[in-house]
Structure 1
Amino acid sequence: MATFDSVEEPDEATKAAIHEILRAYNREHFEILDEREFSITAKDDDGAVIGGVYGTMFGQWLEVEVLAVAPGHRGQGLGSDLLSRIEQAGREHGCRYALLNTFDFQGRDFYPKYGYRQIGEIQGYPLTGSQHWFVKDLRRLRLPGSRSCPGPRHPRTLMHRDSDAFPKTLLFRGSVEYVRVTMHQSPNEVGCVRRRWRPGSPPPRRG
């Protein structure tokens, strides 16, 4: 017959024992058991960590658990750089999708800029805020739109993609210009050539 203990602030051993019961059950039903944790950190010139991201790669999914940037280093593109790096690591390990959750005051407006789609939310958490769940298809390339490689103005049309392998060349058409983008192995290594376009003129060469 079972006895019950109620404890506030349980120790790590208690939590580990509960988790192991669930993990043992999961192992009987999951199609794959290979689960890998992965982290990337950014450091300043003194070696202090100023940002980082870590997550878990499990089957075809990359679950981003934490992404954080120190206050004095925000607004400099460090967060998007960390995100793209762990996404690329996920691709290299065979992940097709990414999953994460965030609060309204954290990354609710940040992640959609990088191709994430909201699939759920709860309101009133913990009192007046909200929590949001996002997914992303890692097989899809995000259209260029950063300061380093701005996309064509007005509606963008993918005219040509030479292959799915790296390096790859994409050609986009806007209403007044073409943009050729060359993506190398890392999503952060993007070469961009902007060319003006006038109605009736031929598109720029693909090479």
Structure 2
Amino acid sequence: MNYELIEVPSEKESFELSQKFQEFVNSNTPLPDESADKKFIINVRDSGKGLIAGILANAYWDGLEIDILWVDRSHRGTGLGAELLGKAEQYGKEQGAVISFLKTVEAKGFYEKYGYQVFGILEDRPIGTFLYHMKKRLD
């Protein structure tokens, strides 16, 4: 056996490992093909076309994964973040999502306000912080 450390893996190398892992997973628990993922962005722009808020998410495997929710500092506290979250959850439900989930370091209180619950905490990622894994039922 030979061990390889590949510090900057190519797409081909990453794909090979991912494919082998997916074959193993499917042999035990068949999952939908990742090509069925529905990645989407909902942006909010001001009258000058400048980006003031946005959400990046992915609807797949009966779930909605929130990757990024950002609101420009000058628009925080206006309800814009809550509106974006609600729009993303609605789109997720339309795609069949029954649960929404995310990771956050700083916005735990915000998400709790809209029904999300902590289901896991990773300490010291980065050092001195907590990475909260949160979920919310959509059904």
The question of a shared fold, defined as TM-score above 0.5 by the shorter chain, is answered with: yes
The aligned residue for residue 78 of structure 2 is: 76
Structure scoring higher RCO (CA < 8 A, sep ≥ 6) equals 2
The aligned residue for residue 19 of structure 1 is: 18
In the aligned structure 2, how far is the partner of 1:25 from the partner of 1:75?
46
The aligned residue for residue 197 of structure 1 is: none
> SS state of the match for residue 110, structure 1?
helix
Extract unaligned runs of 5+ from structure 2: none
Structure with the bigger percentage of helix? 2
The aligned residue for residue 109 of structure 1 is: 109
The aligned residue for residue 119 of structure 2 is: 119
In the aligned structure 2, how far is the partner of 1:32 from the partner of 1:95?
13
Aligned residues: 136
> SS state of the match for residue 76, structure 1?
coil
The aligned residue for residue 131 of structure 1 is: 131
Q: Closer, same or farther in 2 for the Cα pair 1:17/1:49, shift >3 Å?
A: farther
Q: Aligned-pair RMSD on alpha carbons? A: 2.1
Q: Closer, same or farther in 2 for the Cα pair 1:13/1:74, shift >3 Å?
A: farther
| 1:30-86 Cα distance to aligned partner (Å, 9 max, x none) | 343332212211111111222211221113211111111222322221111110000
Shift of 1:15: 3.5
The aligned residue for residue 47 of structure 2 is: 45
The aligned residue for residue 32 of structure 1 is: 32
In the aligned structure 2, how far is the partner of 1:56 from the partner of 1:111?
17
Tell me the TM-score normalized by structure 1: 0.58
Q: Which structure: larger Rg? A: 1
Q: Which amino acid aligns with 2:111?
A: Y
In the aligned structure 2, how far is the partner of 1:63 from the partner of 1:20?
22
Shift of 1:4: 3.9
Shift of 1:97: 0.9
> Where in structure 2 are the equivalents of 1:95-174 lying within 5 Å?
95-103=97-105, 106-139=106-139
| 1:150-178 Cα distance to aligned partner (Å, 9 max, x none) | xxxxxxxxxxxxxxxxxxxxxxxxxxxxx
Q: Closer, same or farther in 2 for the Cα pair 1:48/1:12, shift >3 Å?
A: farther
> SS state of the match for residue 109, structure 1?
helix
Shift of 1:14: 3.9
